[in-house]
Amino acid sequence: MGLKIRYTAGQTPLDEDEKEGLLIETITTKAELDEFEQLNIENAVQWTMQQPFRREIFFTETFIKDLHQKMFSDTWAWAGVFRKTNKNIGVDKLEIGIELRKLLDDTLFWTHNQVFVPDEIAIRFKHRIVSIHCFANGNGRHSRLLADVIAAHIFRRPVFSWGAATTSQQDVRIHYLQALKAADLGNIYPLLLFARS
């Protein structure tokens, strides 16, 4: 029967090969997939908040991959592996490593030189990494958790609320996508406001 997914605005469709990477054959709907992924993600969140990380570990390709793997390893065989196909968003699959290295170097520079305030560094990082779109799926959730990790571990700030004050999940998604589009056009501040609302 296979996995049937109806994608909403802002979601990255999986190709058939990527769907074959689903580790739980009994999952057939998007709701079941979301529920199982959420359990996996909650375990990854716990892991990130309990680790005594050294600051320099965060801004490495290894950490970026390891975190995605922790978030989705119970669900997808390709968790933590850079995507092998081009998507409706993101850089060309062959440029992922190059663009990620640039982002990691930029973020280290911003951090060491206090180019932006801490929250802005975390949100700029989140926006750039989701724009690169390193993985076949889960990039938005991965980028939000990375921003939380940067806020909590690098700057000793509270994690972001990601629109928790918004009344409905549909409104949260609408505001999030609007803020991302503004960031795509060079205005990071709506995304920063959304992250702390």
**Which residues are catalytic, by number?**
133
Question: Where do the H-state alpha helices sit in the chain?
Answer: 16-19, 30-50, 55-58, 61-72, 96-113, 118-132, 139-149, 169-184, 189-195
C-alpha distance from residue 187 to each of 6, 127, 180 (Å): 30, 11, 9
* CA–CA distance, 53 with 49 (Å, rounded to integer): 9
